[in-house]
Amino acid sequence: MMSTFSLILAIITGVSGIFWGVKKLRIIMCNHYRHKKIFFQKSNNIYQQPNNTYSLIISYFSEISEFISSIFPVLLLVFIIRSFVFEPFRIPSGSMMPTLLIGDFILVKKFIYGIKNPITQTTLINVGHPKRGDIIVFKYPKNPALNYIKRVIGEPGDKVIYNIITKQLTIYPNSGNGTTYIQQLPIAYDNIIPSNFVQVFNSDTNGKVESTFLQIRPNQTCSHGIRLIRTTESLNGVAHNILTMIPPGDQNLIKMYDQHTKNLVSEWVVPTDEYFVMGDNRDNSSDSRYWGFVPERNIIGKATIIWMNIKKQKDTTWPIAIQLDRIGNIE
């Protein structure tokens, strides 16, 4: 699994590094020859150079070389930070609402789960593993060219059950023997109230139905939308807010669940070195329920900070507002 952007950045950084190295070597050689009064001769403290076409071409390429070599330190710093420390991402969909909104710009901490080769994504130094409740960015298993962001629900060896009617999880932690699951993970659902989000459905001329999300106060009405319910979900004490539609859920969705040979349709046993993930917007998230588990090698890092949010108007590419109140740590 290769990261194309990281490969391109590494190549550009390497090329600029070569120019930077050649420049440093030339400076050393020039200083050496200048000291011996062989390479340059001075006249009125100005270096005399032939004024002809050849010298102009040399001067032109020298300026290009100077520019390429000058950006090497910046490229190297960007490459190191992006590859091993933090990487920026933008939230394109509402699958993680209300925790993350469309237009949020986030920083993903990459070293928290291990130091990886930025190009092949192979682990070089193992530091830790994702924990239940972490929000992770990962390469989509069905198409590694796409980056997804979801919350870790099941760790390796866990049994995860999702009730599509009540919208509640049941988790049996890894028992150690892989066959017997007795002790349930303590999961609580509190503060069940109408949220600030309304889901609106629209159909185009071809009959294709698309949905958008409006953010309005609970005391306001929206005749052409469905108000989502906000609930505080606590996974063994790790609390976060989720959104659901008013129960009961659409039982037809269960037909789209990832099929298993040994388990019930709405029941998953997480394999070794893989994770079960879900979006916080439970009825509007393409996640492990539908396409399976996330291999640990696909994980890029943990989402930690929202550093900006740009709110866009529908059907336009121009931002209409920067929401400063969104800046802060991700819970």
Could you read off the pLDDT of 224-254 as tens digits, one per residue?
788 999 999 999 888 999 999 876 555 666 6
Q: Provide the domain count of the chain.
A: 2
Contacts of 246 (CB under 8 A, 6+ apart): 226, 229
Phi, psi of 69 (to 5 degrees): -70, -30
Q: What is the DSSP string of 4-49?
A: HHHHHHHHHHHHHHHHHHHHHHHHHHHHHHHHTTSS--EETTEE--
Q: Are residues 11 and 107 in the same domain?
A: no
Q: Are residues 195 and 51 in the same domain?
A: no
Provide mean pLDDT across the span 270-292: 95
Beta bridge partners of 302: 109, 136
Full domain range(s) for residue 42: 4-70
Mean pLDDT of the chain: 83
User: Residue 251: inside a domain, yes or no?
Assistant: yes
Q: Are residues 168 and 312 in the same domain?
A: yes
Provide mean pLDDT across the span 84-111: 93
Q: Are residues 47 and 124 in the same domain?
A: no
- HSE (CB half, 13 Å, CA atoms) of 102? 15
User: Residue 75: inside a domain, yes or no?
Assistant: no
Question: SS3 string of 275-298?
Answer: EEEECCEHHHCCCHHHHCCEEHHH
Q: Are residues 219 and 119 in the same domain?
A: yes
| CA distance linking residue 66 with residue 20, whole number of Å | 8
| CA distance linking residue 266 with residue 119, whole number of Å | 36
User: Residue 78: inside a domain, yes or no?
Assistant: no
Question: Nearest CA to 72 among 14, 123, 22?
Answer: 14
| CA distance linking residue 165 with residue 240, whole number of Å | 20
User: Residue 208: inside a domain, yes or no?
Assistant: yes
Q: What is the DSSP string of 166-200?
A: TTEEEEE---SSSS---SPPPEEEEEEEEEEEEEE
pLDDT band at 47 (very low <50, low <70, confident <90, very high): very low
pLDDT band at 41 (very low <50, low <70, confident <90, very high): very low
Known catalytic residues are 95, 150
| CA distance linking residue 257 with residue 253, whole number of Å | 7
Q: Are residues 184 and 289 in the same domain?
A: yes
pLDDT band at 22 (very low <50, low <70, confident <90, very high): confident
Which of residues 70, 95, 126 is at a domain's end? 70
pLDDT band at 319 (very low <50, low <70, confident <90, very high): low
User: Residue 244: inside a domain, yes or no?
Assistant: yes
More confident residue, 128 or 57: 128
CA 224 to chain centre: 33
Q: Are residues 117 and 228 in the same domain?
A: yes
Which of residues 23, 42, 70 is at a domain's end? 70
pLDDT band at 35 (very low <50, low <70, confident <90, very high): low
Q: What is the pLDDT of residue 40?
A: 44
Provide mean pLDDT across the span 325-329: 88
Provide mean pLDDT across the span 65-74: 86
Q: What is the CATH number of the domain that holds 209?
A: 2.10.109.10
| CA distance linking residue 282 with residue 304, whole number of Å | 21
CA–CA–CA angle 240, 241, 244 (5° rounding): 140
Question: Nearest CA to 297 among 131, 120, 106?
Answer: 120
Q: Are residues 177 and 234 in the same domain?
A: yes
pLDDT band at 118 (very low <50, low <70, confident <90, very high): confident
151: its two tokens? 């919350």
Q: pLDDT > 70: what percent of the chain? A: 82
User: Residue 77: inside a domain, yes or no?
Assistant: no
User: Residue 158: inside a domain, yes or no?
Assistant: yes
User: Residue 257: inside a domain, yes or no?
Assistant: yes
Q: Are residues 34 and 104 in the same domain?
A: no
91: its two tokens? 């939230």
Which of residues 42, 70, 98 is at a domain's end? 70
Q: Are residues 45 and 99 in the same domain?
A: no
Q: Which residue is associated with the tokens 């469309």?
A: 102
Each residue's pLDDT tens digit, 171-209: 999 877 656 677 899 999 999 999 999 998 887 767 677
Q: Are residues 41 and 98 in the same domain?
A: no
More confident residue, 20 or 41: 20
Provide mean pLDDT across the span 248-276: 77
Q: Tell whether pTM > 0.85.
A: no
Q: Are residues 194 and 271 in the same domain?
A: yes
Provide mean pLDDT across the span 13-31: 82
